[in-house]
Amino acid sequence: MRFHISTTSRLPIYQQLAQQIREAIARGELLPEACLPSVRQMSQDLVVNPNTVARAYTELEREGLLVSRPGRGIYVAQPRNDLTPAARDRRLIEKMNPWLTEAVHLGYAADEVLRLVAERVREFQWQNEKVA
Protein backbone atom coordinates (compact mmCIF):
# COMPACT_ATOMS: atom_id res chain seq x y z
CA MET A 1 0.00 0.00 0.00
CA ARG A 2 1.40 3.37 -1.03
CA PHE A 3 -0.12 6.63 0.07
CA HIS A 4 0.78 10.10 -0.96
CA ILE A 5 -0.24 13.56 0.14
CA SER A 6 -0.66 16.60 -2.03
CA THR A 7 0.94 19.69 -0.58
CA THR A 8 -1.09 21.68 -3.10
CA SER A 9 -4.44 20.53 -1.80
CA ARG A 10 -6.38 22.73 0.55
CA LEU A 11 -7.49 19.70 2.53
CA PRO A 12 -5.64 19.17 5.81
CA ILE A 13 -2.89 16.60 5.39
CA TYR A 14 -4.20 14.32 8.11
CA GLN A 15 -7.55 14.18 6.37
CA GLN A 16 -6.03 13.40 3.01
CA LEU A 17 -4.28 10.45 4.57
CA ALA A 18 -7.33 9.32 6.52
CA GLN A 19 -9.54 9.38 3.44
CA GLN A 20 -7.01 7.39 1.42
CA ILE A 21 -6.90 4.74 4.08
CA ARG A 22 -10.69 4.66 4.23
CA GLU A 23 -10.92 4.14 0.50
CA ALA A 24 -8.19 1.49 0.51
CA ILE A 25 -10.18 -0.44 3.09
CA ALA A 26 -13.42 0.09 1.22
CA ARG A 27 -11.85 -1.24 -1.97
CA GLY A 28 -10.52 -4.30 -0.19
CA GLU A 29 -6.89 -3.40 -0.75
CA LEU A 30 -6.44 -3.30 2.99
CA LEU A 31 -8.06 -6.38 4.52
CA PRO A 32 -9.16 -6.82 8.15
CA GLU A 33 -6.21 -7.60 10.46
CA ALA A 34 -3.76 -6.05 7.99
CA CYS A 35 -1.02 -4.12 9.77
CA LEU A 36 -0.37 -0.50 8.85
CA PRO A 37 3.04 1.16 8.86
CA SER A 38 4.04 2.69 12.19
CA VAL A 39 3.48 6.39 12.73
CA ARG A 40 7.21 6.96 12.50
CA GLN A 41 7.58 4.92 9.31
CA MET A 42 4.59 6.52 7.61
CA SER A 43 5.72 10.02 8.54
CA GLN A 44 9.09 9.33 6.92
CA ASP A 45 7.47 7.90 3.77
CA LEU A 46 5.17 10.88 3.34
CA VAL A 47 7.65 13.47 4.59
CA VAL A 48 5.20 14.94 7.05
CA ASN A 49 5.15 15.57 10.76
CA PRO A 50 4.60 12.38 12.85
CA ASN A 51 1.87 14.22 14.74
CA THR A 52 -0.04 14.53 11.49
CA VAL A 53 0.06 10.78 10.85
CA ALA A 54 -0.87 10.04 14.44
CA ARG A 55 -3.87 12.28 14.09
CA ALA A 56 -5.11 10.44 10.99
CA TYR A 57 -4.76 7.09 12.78
CA THR A 58 -6.57 8.41 15.85
CA GLU A 59 -9.43 9.66 13.71
CA LEU A 60 -9.83 6.30 11.99
CA GLU A 61 -9.62 4.46 15.29
CA ARG A 62 -12.39 6.64 16.68
CA GLU A 63 -14.46 5.73 13.64
CA GLY A 64 -13.87 2.04 14.32
CA LEU A 65 -11.95 1.40 11.10
CA LEU A 66 -8.61 0.76 12.80
CA VAL A 67 -7.62 -0.78 16.11
CA SER A 68 -4.32 -0.01 17.76
CA ARG A 69 -2.60 -2.71 19.80
CA PRO A 70 -0.11 -0.83 21.96
CA GLY A 71 3.41 -2.03 21.47
CA ARG A 72 2.50 -4.10 18.42
CA GLY A 73 1.10 -1.69 15.86
CA ILE A 74 -2.12 -0.54 14.30
CA TYR A 75 -4.45 -2.88 12.41
CA VAL A 76 -7.49 -2.81 10.16
CA ALA A 77 -10.56 -3.62 12.26
CA GLN A 78 -13.24 -6.19 11.52
CA PRO A 79 -16.22 -4.68 9.75
CA ARG A 80 -18.89 -3.64 12.21
CA ASN A 81 -22.32 -5.15 12.04
CA ASP A 82 -23.86 -3.58 15.07
CA LEU A 83 -26.28 -1.34 13.28
CA THR A 84 -29.87 -2.26 12.51
CA PRO A 85 -30.84 -1.93 8.85
CA ALA A 86 -32.97 1.09 9.73
CA ALA A 87 -30.12 2.79 11.58
CA ARG A 88 -27.80 2.04 8.67
CA ASP A 89 -30.18 3.60 6.21
CA ARG A 90 -30.74 6.61 8.42
CA ARG A 91 -27.04 7.20 8.77
CA LEU A 92 -26.36 6.94 5.07
CA ILE A 93 -29.31 9.04 3.99
CA GLU A 94 -28.31 11.75 6.41
CA LYS A 95 -24.96 12.14 4.73
CA MET A 96 -26.47 12.10 1.28
CA ASN A 97 -28.15 15.45 1.62
CA PRO A 98 -25.16 17.75 1.16
CA TRP A 99 -23.92 16.28 -2.10
CA LEU A 100 -27.42 15.78 -3.46
CA THR A 101 -28.04 19.44 -2.76
CA GLU A 102 -24.86 20.26 -4.64
CA ALA A 103 -26.14 18.22 -7.57
CA VAL A 104 -29.30 20.30 -7.77
CA HIS A 105 -27.29 23.51 -7.74
CA LEU A 106 -25.01 22.29 -10.44
CA GLY A 107 -28.08 21.80 -12.57
CA TYR A 108 -28.06 18.01 -12.76
CA ALA A 109 -31.22 16.28 -13.87
CA ALA A 110 -32.38 13.38 -11.70
CA ASP A 111 -31.36 10.66 -14.13
CA GLU A 112 -27.95 12.22 -14.67
CA VAL A 113 -27.25 11.90 -10.96
CA LEU A 114 -28.25 8.26 -11.00
CA ARG A 115 -26.03 7.65 -14.00
CA LEU A 116 -23.07 9.29 -12.29
CA VAL A 117 -23.53 7.31 -9.09
CA ALA A 118 -23.79 4.07 -11.01
CA GLU A 119 -20.62 4.90 -12.88
CA ARG A 120 -18.68 5.65 -9.73
CA VAL A 121 -19.99 2.53 -8.05
CA ARG A 122 -18.61 0.45 -10.89
CA GLU A 123 -15.21 2.12 -10.63
CA PHE A 124 -15.16 1.32 -6.93
CA GLN A 125 -14.98 -2.42 -7.76
CA TRP A 126 -17.74 -2.91 -5.29
CA GLN A 127 -17.26 -6.14 -3.32
CA ASN A 128 -20.11 -6.16 -0.83
CA GLU A 129 -22.85 -8.68 -1.26
CA LYS A 130 -26.42 -7.77 -0.55
CA VAL A 131 -26.97 -8.53 3.12
CA ALA A 132 -30.71 -8.26 3.44
The site for a second copy (CB under 8 A) is made up of 7-10, 12, 19, 22-23, 25-27, 33, 62-63, 65, 67-72, 75, 79-84, 86-93, 95-114, 116-118, 120-122, 124, 126-132
CA pseudo-torsion sign 48, 45, 62, 7: positive
Long-range contacts of 5-14 (CB under 8 A, 24+ apart): 5/46, 5/48, 13/48, 13/52, 14/52, 14/53, 14/55, 14/56, 14/59
Q: Which does 60 bind (CB under 5 to 8 A by kind): a second copy, DNA, none?
A: none
Q: How far is the CB of 121 from DNA (least distance, A)?
A: 29
Q: Which does 112 bind (CB under 5 to 8 A by kind): DNA, a second copy, none?
A: a second copy
Length of the chain: 132
**22-81: contacts with DNA (CB under 7 A):** 36, 38-41, 48-52, 54-55, 57-58, 61, 68-74
